[in-house]
Structures are given as structure tokens and as C-alpha cells.
Amino acid sequence: MTVQDGLTIGVVVGLAVALVALTLAERRWPTTLRRVAAFEALDAAIERAVEAGERVHLSLGTGSLIGSDCAPALAGATALAKIAEATAMSDRPVVASAGDGALAVLAQDALRGAYARTGAKDHYRATTGRMLGPTPFSYAAALPVILSSEKVSVHLLTGSFGAEGALAAEMGERQKAYVLAGSDQVQTQALFFTTAEHTLVGEEVFVTGAYLQGSGMQRASLRLQDGLRLALAAAIVIGTLLRTLGVGL
Amino acid sequence: MRSGLHYLWTALAILFGVLVLSGYVLAVPSLQSIRSLLMQWAVVLSAAALLLGLVNMLSVHWNKVGAQEKGWPYSALLLLSLLGTFILGLVFGPDSAILTALFNDIQQPVEASLVALLAITLTVAGFRLVARRRNAASVVFAVSALIVLLGTGPWLIGGDGSWFLTMGELRAWWSQVWAAGAARGLLLGVALGATVTGLRVLLGSDRPYGD
């Protein structure tokens, strides 16, 4: 084992220990979540959809489950489970879609688990977790059908999207739905800023679960993220100063 | 109500997650070969999941046609196309001339037209953004888009004048200093978010795979 291997193990174990410690500290010093207008409006939009007998649609994106772009879809699946629990008693339970077969299976599993936890197993239908199209633009082309036929009034995009994400968000706007869109791709975030009513910027796509009455660890992880960001920013500033002063690194 | 099996699924997810992560970050040949094997399994399972996704799609559209729901002819067309392409693929093979022609002459032009639609969609959405969200962020966004357009498209203001050269320099400064700096900040946030999400899955707190 090399020194680099040891350092890598140290960083991973250190982060895990810090996350567990922050989770334990959550009972005594609970994390105060920053106000995000999009999430405040999301709660109200979901309530309205349930009362009006309309449906929430959540997209896990056009990425894959086994690629490097799976993280936002995993965070999206956690949010999906939370929303399914919240809308389990609605006449029109949440519907999820993805551009990848494995992500569609993941969505079905998240929905099945959520309904089982809320005692509404009979609300689960395999067709509420769908693969719409195997390529990014075929996925976008199939979206209007699901939005209109399922009476969708809350359209959430939390996954990995490319340029097709702009079309996906725009279709929700045309349906006059509440649209909340986030992606791990920076270019797509810019497209969402233009096309979606509410945009998740930067790492906000990973925190949807925490804002939807998330677990202690989800809330604690926000603190860890903030701490790491500050440490990185400090390292960049110190490195720049040292370099400017001619100190070799 | 949960069955005790969810402990088993969580333990398996953590075990395989740790094995794959170790294979990536540690230069230990045995771990790397385990990681490679597990990733090969994942690819096979992902292909099987694609088939499941197609079956799911078939059942959704089959039900739509059966119930004569609004837009059912489109569903019927999708079913016919899907089954037709599938049978042709089985008979002639995925690399045959007929399937290549279907892809090049139908799939590609349709997707290219959607890309073209994207340009119009973004233009309309840009105007809507300025009209609907009149705040500092929207103004910065619109001004940035204008600077990049003027600095990139010489046909608008003449391609050889000093005005165009100035706009080109302004565009380069704006995109390479301000936009690139902001994008790096966002990328750092995304990387941290992905890392922490992975940690939560590895610690069994997030179980997106259900119970």
C-alpha cells in the first residue's frame, strides 16, 4: 500500500466518521436549513396537487445507474420515496420516469418501499415507474404524453440531464405545472435557469431529500458539505497567496 | 411494515459499495480485479434492466391502446415500431444494413430536429425569463448571453471592425474569468454533494433501492 492509498483511506474514513459524528450531534444541535424559495414552494405545490387530484411527476434523468452520473439520480430516488410517502393517500399517486432501464427499476423499488412503509401497498403500480426512452432526446420526446395524460401539476427534474433537460423543463412550463429542476451538469443548470420556474443550483440537487423532512444524516450531511466547501475555499485562497508570494508548493 | 430482509439488502449494498470504491481508490490488484468483475456484473444487469424497461414501456402503451385513451394511435404506432424493429434486429442482426438505415434515416433526423427545437425553445424561454423574473440574476444572465452572442456572431455587427474585436475580447474575458470561475465553484459544490450522497448510501442511511 502506497502513501497515496493511505491518504485516500484516511480521507474516506475521516469523512464517514465526521458524518456519523454530525448525525449524532443533530439531536442536540439540529441543523437549521437555509431558506430556499424553490423548496418552500414545493411543499405547497405538492399539497395543492393532492387536494386537486392531480399528480406529481419526478424524473430521475437520462443518466445511468452504473455511470459516474448516478449520484443525482440516487438523491432523486430518496426524494421520490419521501414524496410517495407524502402523497400515498392521494387518488393519483406520484409517477416517476427515467431514460434508463435500471433507473426505472430503481424508481419502482423506491415507490414500492414507500407505499409499504405507509401501509398503502395496494397503491403501488409497476407502471408508475417508467422508462420513457433509451436515448436522451427520445426521453424528452415522450415526456409531454406522460405530463398531459397523467394530469401532472408538479414536475420535478432531479437527475443527470444534458441539453434535453431544457426541453423537459419547458414541457412542464407549457403544462402550467410547478417546475423544479436540478442537474449535476453545470451547463444544464444554466439551461434550467432559463426554462424552469425554480432551479436547483450547484449541489442543491443533492439536498432535496433533506428539505422534504429528511433523516438526521441527510440534514447533518449539509453541515459536512458546508464545512468541506469552506475548507476547500480556504485552501484555494491560501494556495493562491503562497504562490503569489513565491512560496513553492 | 418492513420485513427483516431490508437489513440484508442494506448490508449487501454497503459491502459491494465498499468493494467497488476500494477497487477504484487503492492500487491493490486483487481489489481492482474484484471491482472489475462487479462492474461487469453491473453492466449485464443494466442490460437486463433495459429489457425490463422496454417491457414496462410496452405494458404502459398496450394498456393505453386497450383503453382507447387520448392519443392511443401514437401508442399503437410506438408498439408497432418497437416490435417491428425488435423482430428485424433478431432476424438480421443489430449491425445489419436495414437497421442501420432505420437508425440513420428515422431516429437521427428526429433527434436532430429536437436539437433544432431546443434553440427556439431557449430563445423563447430567455425572453420569458426577463419578463417574468425581473431580478439581478436574470439581468446578469441576459447581459452575459448578449455579450457571448455579440462576441461570437460576427454577422451581427461586422466581422472585421474594432467594435467586433472589442466585443470578442470582452466575451473572452467574461467567459474565461467570470463564467469559468463561477462554473468551477459550482463544480466543487456538485462534487461535494455527490461525495456526501455516496457516503450516505455507503453508510446505509439513504436506501434508494427500497426495503
What are the pLDDT digits (tens) for A201-210?
Answer: 988 999 988 8
Q: Residue A187: what pLDDT?
A: 92
Q: Residue A33: what pLDDT?
A: 87
Look at residue B49 and tell me whether its pLDDT is greater than 90: yes
Residues in chain A closer than 8 A to B117 (CB atoms): 167
Look at residue B1 and tell me whether its pLDDT is greater than 80: no
Q: Which residue has the cell 454497503?
A: B14
Which residues, in sequence order, are bridge partners of residue A156? A58, A180
Q: What is the pLDDT of residues A150-181, one digit of tens each?
A: 899 999 999 999 999 999 999 999 999 999 99
Q: What angle, 0 to 180 degrees and rounded to 10, lies between the N-to-C axes of helices B136-152 and A186-195?
A: 110
Contact B10, B210 (CB under 8 A): no
Q: Is residue B47 part of a domain?
A: yes
Q: Residue B155: what pLDDT?
A: 62
Is residue B102 classed as helix, strand or coil in its secondary structure? helix
Q: Is residue B155 part of a domain?
A: no
Alpha-carbon span A42 to A204, nearest angstrom: 14
Q: What is the ipTM of this complex?
A: 0.88
B210: contact with A, CB 8 A cutoff: yes
Q: A127–B25: do the CB atoms touch at under 8 Å? A: no
Average pLDDT score over residue span A55-73: 91
Mark which residues 118-177 of B lie under 8 Å from A by CB. Answer: 118, 121-122, 125-126, 129, 137, 141
CB contacts < 8 A, A to B, total 214
Q: Which residue has the cell 415507490?
A: A111
Pairwise pLDDT comparison (B124 vs B158), residue with the higher score: B124
Q: A202–B190: do the CB atoms touch at under 8 Å? A: yes
User: What rounded mean pLDDT belongs to chain B?
Assistant: 88
Q: Is residue B208 part of a domain?
A: no
Alpha-carbon span A107 to A221, nearest angstrom: 23
Distance in Å, alpha carbon of B166 to nearest chain A alpha carbon: 25
Query: Please, which pLDDT band fits residue B28 given cuts at 50, 70 and 90?
Result: confident
Q: Is residue B195 part of a domain?
A: no
**Structural domain of B62:** 1-92
Q: Is residue B100 part of a domain?
A: no
Q: How many CA atoms lie within 13 A of A93 on its CB side?
A: 25
Structurally, chain B folds into a number of domains equal to 1
Residues in chain B closer than 8 A to A72 (CB atoms): 194, 197
Q: Is residue B188 part of a domain?
A: no
Q: Is residue B72 part of a domain?
A: yes
Contact B123, B129 (CB under 8 A): no
Percent of chain A with pLDDT over 90: 65
What phi and psi values does residue A97 have, to the nearest 5 degrees? -140, 160
The 10 Å Cβ neighbour count of residue B3 is: 10
Average pLDDT score over residue span B61-76: 91
Alpha-carbon span B145 to B171, nearest angstrom: 10
Q: Residue B210: what pLDDT?
A: 63
User: What rounded mean pLDDT belongs to chain A?
Assistant: 91
First to last CA, chain A: 25
Residues in chain B closer than 8 A to A184 (CB atoms): 190, 193-194
Q: B199–A129: do the CB atoms touch at under 8 Å? A: no
**Which cell numbers hold the place of A52?**
386537486
Average pLDDT score over residue span B103-120: 90
Q: Residue A234: what pLDDT?
A: 95
Query: Please, which pLDDT band fits residue B159 given cuts at 50, 70 and 90?
Result: low
Q: Residue B151: what pLDDT?
A: 84
Q: Is residue B69 part of a domain?
A: yes
Contact A104, B53 (CB under 8 A): yes
Alpha-carbon span A65 to A79, nearest angstrom: 16
Alpha-carbon span B20 to B14, nearest angstrom: 10
Q: Residue A31: what pLDDT?
A: 86
Look at residue B83 and tell me whether its pLDDT is greater than 70: yes
Least confident of A203-217, B135-149, B159-173: B159-173
Q: What angle, 0 to 180 degrees and rounded to 10, lies between the N-to-C axes of helices B5-25 and B29-66?
A: 130
Look at residue A39 and tell me whether its pLDDT is greater than 60: yes
Q: What is the pLDDT of residues A92-144, one digit of tens each?
A: 889 999 999 999 999 999 999 899 989 888 889 888 999 998 899 999 999 99
